[in-house]
Amino acid sequence: MRTEDLPEIRHLPLFRNMLQANFDDLMRGAYAQNFPAGLELIQQGQPADFLHVVVEGSVELFSGWQDNRCTMAVVDPIGTFILAACIKDAPYLMSARTLERSRIILVPASDLRAIFRRDPEFAVSVIGELASCYRAMVRHAKNLKLRNSRERLAAYLMKQSQGRFGDESFKLNVEKRLIASYLGMTPENLSRNFKALEAHGVKIEGQTVTIFDRRALEAICPLDRLLDGADEHSTQNGVGLPFGI
Amino acid sequence: MRTEDLPEIRHLPLFRNMLQANFDDLMRGAYAQNFPAGLELIQQGQPADFLHVVVEGSVELFSGWQDNRCTMAVVDPIGTFILAACIKDAPYLMSARTLERSRIILVPASDLRAIFRRDPEFAVSVIGELASCYRAMVRHAKNLKLRNSRERLAAYLMKQSQGRFGDESFKLNVEKRLIASYLGMTPENLSRNFKALEAHGVKIEGQTVTIFDRRALEAICPLDRLLDGADEHSTQNGVGLPFGI
DNA sequence: CGAACCCTTGACAGAAATCAACTAAGGTGG
DNA sequence: CCACCTTAGTTGATTTCTGTCAAGGGTTCG
């Protein structure tokens, strides 16, 4: 793996506080790889062999059942995924595929399990990371159960617009069909919801979204700290969402 | 707190492997309390002060937004809840209320955070517990996104019927309205779905459910290891579900 | 006994999925 | 450079699913 990747990985909340010797051990067994867009990195149901760290590009986590599939999250740099499966030594609950050309570090799950047992600081970091992932998934489930599809879209747009320059106009960084799946609706329904929101302070032009009347949009769906907030130090935070609220 | 509670708590996966001295420290700051049915133990948004351990009775975890509310999980003995909020020192994402007369142990969150930092074995247990909670919530979200309401009910009934004596007839151990909310539908819709399933191998009489043709029910909704399974050692496992599949 | 409350049922309204057709954009290969 | 193909996105028509409102039966509990 490229040595220039190491400092950035070392700086991750998950690896920041562990002993250097243990970090070195962990990285010795690890290797980096470049993948083209659209490649399926892991399939749900497979045994968890590697913790994945996204260094460049982005990865979709998704699930399938019968003929249905749905997006569960998108992981951007620098983020990790399927930590929980690695720790439990259990099958992946989600599949993963690259959305673009991506550079991924693969850390053997067995090394991971061995090292957090002997490095208490690392164990504490893993605890923090898992707690964040858990809370993110609780929010995701709450969002699905407590809001209808139009409200979910409104909240998504407001959350996306935060933490960006200008705070008014921004570009969607993933396909609309993926957003639809992430928000639990069909692409057709998303399209109609976009249109419906044009009467409530939002303008859509291709990939560009402009919130020209935030108050009107908030009237449709006020953001909520317990639904739309994000914990600090989370590395896997839904569809590329900035922190805050 | 009653000393007869201690061995049972000590036997929990979460506390099983920690040093006796640390367990004693943790329990010194803890206290047990009996609560009547229907009491709201914690409210979403409050700071996380205590890890809760259900020794007797049962507790509903639920969330609200605007005028909506939904059940997220039910915790039975011996189970813990809101571990993640305690660890992150963050506000609760869910509220909790007793469903019946319950005995709960309250463990100060600050003690918890201090002790997993100095007891690596305990940290490892916390990691395992959080990973299980995370995976349970992933399953919950997948269930909501990949199945319709009738399929969710069918899967719920099959899962409930497992691990019980006879494997054919059993009693629902919570109110139907709560099951409805847990499964993401209205009570009216649940009622209609029950009726609809009577043509597919299920008989409902009050609280008693009989699956007289499991194959017919599986045709409606086959169980799936990645959706309906449960990790071992999880303490908080949805609406009082037995493990397995 | 009355007052809640849960559950059910029916009628209806609204939300969302499906099916089909069409447009637009992007990439490929001649 | 253009014709072609593929795919994402949109739109309309329709069906299906789900929620809402209202009423009634049954049970529990004070």
Tens digits of per-residue pLDDT, B61-91? Answer: 999 999 999 999 999 998 999 999 999 999 9
- Amino acid sitting at position A43: Q
Chain A residues near residue B90 by CB distance under 8 angstroms: 135, 231
Element (H, E) at A178: helix A176-182
CA of B158 to C1' of D24 (A): 32
Percent of chain A exceeding pLDDT 90 equals 84
Judged by average pLDDT, the poorest of A26-35, A162-171, A173-182, B220-229 is A162-171
Distance CA A97, CA A35 (A): 10
Average pLDDT of the segment spanning A204-218: 93
Token pair of B116 as six digits: 């997993």
Mean pLDDT of B99-104: 94
Given CB atoms, is B147 within the 8 Å cutoff of chain A? yes
Q: What percent of chain B has pLDDT over 70?
A: 92
Confidence category of residue B244, pLDDT binned at 50, 70, 90: very low
Cα B120 from Cα A115, distance rounded (Å): 11
Instruction: Provide, as residue numbers in chain B, all residues whose Cβ is less than 8 Å from the Cβ of A222.
Output: 66
A222-243 mean pLDDT: 71
**Token digits of residue A116:** 């957090």
Is A148 at the interface with chain B, CB within 8 A?
no
Whole-number Å distance between alpha carbons of B239 and A212 = 44
d(CA A148, CA B88): 29
Instruction: Kindly state the average pLDDT of the residues B226-243.
Output: 65
User: Which residue would you say has higher pLDDT here, B149 or A78?
Assistant: B149
Return the residue in A115, A145, A183, A234 with the most chain B beta carbons within 10 A, the one to mutate for interface testing: A145
pLDDT at B165 over 70: no
Whether residue A236 is predicted with pLDDT greater than 90 in this model: the reply is no
Window B:150-169, CB contacts with A under 8 Å: none
CB nearest A138 (choices: B93, B126, B144): B93
B188 touches strand C (CB under 7 A): yes
Instruction: List alpha helices for chain B, DSSP H.
Output: 5-10, 20-28, 83-88, 109-118, 120-146, 149-161, 176-182, 187-197, 214-220, 225-228
Which tens digits make up the pLDDT trace of B171-210?
999 999 999 999 999 999 999 999 999 999 999 999 999 9
Average pLDDT over residues A100-124: 95
Is the C-beta atom of B177 closer than 7 angstroms to strand C?
yes
Question: Would you say A52 and A76 are in contact if contact means Cβ atoms under 8 Å apart?
Answer: no
Residues of B in contact with A64 (CB under 8 A): 146
Lowest model confidence (mean pLDDT) among A22-31, A228-237, B30-39: A228-237
Mean pLDDT across A154-176: 87
Residue B154's SS3 state is: helix
Whole-Å CA distances, A159 to A138, A172, B30: 17, 12, 39
- Name the DSSP letter for residue A53: E
> Which residue's CA is nearest to the C1' of nucleotide C17?
A186
| CA contacts within 13 A on the Cβ side of B139 | 29
State yes or no: pLDDT of A39 exceeds 70.
Answer: yes
Check whether B136 has a pLDDT greater than 70.
Answer: yes
Q: Are A55 and A103 in contact (CB under 8 A)?
A: yes
Asked whether the predicted pLDDT for residue B241 surpasses 60, the reply is: no
In the sheet where B79-81 sits, what is the strand order? B31-35, B102-108, B50-56, B79-81
Task: Strand D: list positions under 7 Å from protein Cβ.
Answer: 8-13, 17-22
Give the residue-averaged pLDDT of B120-139: 96
Q: Give the number of A-B residue pairs with CB atoms closer than 8 Å.
A: 154
Tell me the pLDDT tens digit for each residue of A79-90: 999 999 999 999
Question: In order of start, what are the domains of chain A with their CATH numbers?
Answer: 5-143 (2.60.120.10), 148-220 (1.10.10.10)
For residues A234 and A137, give the distance between their C-alpha atoms in angstroms, rounded to a whole number: 12
Check pLDDT > 80 for residue A235: no
Partners of residue B69 in chain A, C-beta under 8 Å: 146
Peptide bond preceding A42: is omega within 30 degrees of 0, i.e. cis?
A: no
A184 closest-nt by C1' vs CA: C16
Q: Output the distance from A222 CA to C24 C1' rounded to whole Å.
A: 34
Average pLDDT on A114-142 reads: 96
pLDDT number for residue B243: 39
Distance from CA of B122 to the nearest CA of A (A): 10
| Chain A (216-235) residues lying within 8 Å, Cβ to Cβ, of chain B | 222, 224-227, 231
Question: Which of A 50-109 lie inside 8 A of B, CB atoms?
Answer: 63-66, 68-70, 72, 83-85, 87-88, 90-91, 93-94
Percent share of chain B, pLDDT over 90: 85
Mean pLDDT of B120-145: 97
The more confident residue out of A231 and A13 is A13
Q: How far apart (Å, rounded) are the C-alpha atoms in residues A244 and A235?
A: 14
Condensed to tens digits (0 to 9), the pLDDT of residues B15-50 reads 999 999 999 999 999 999 999 999 999 999 999 999
Burial of residue B167 (CB within 10 Å: 0-12, 13-18, 19+) is: exposed
Chain B neighbors of A66, CB-CB under 8 A? 146, 222
Give percent of chain A with pLDDT exceeding 70. Answer: 92
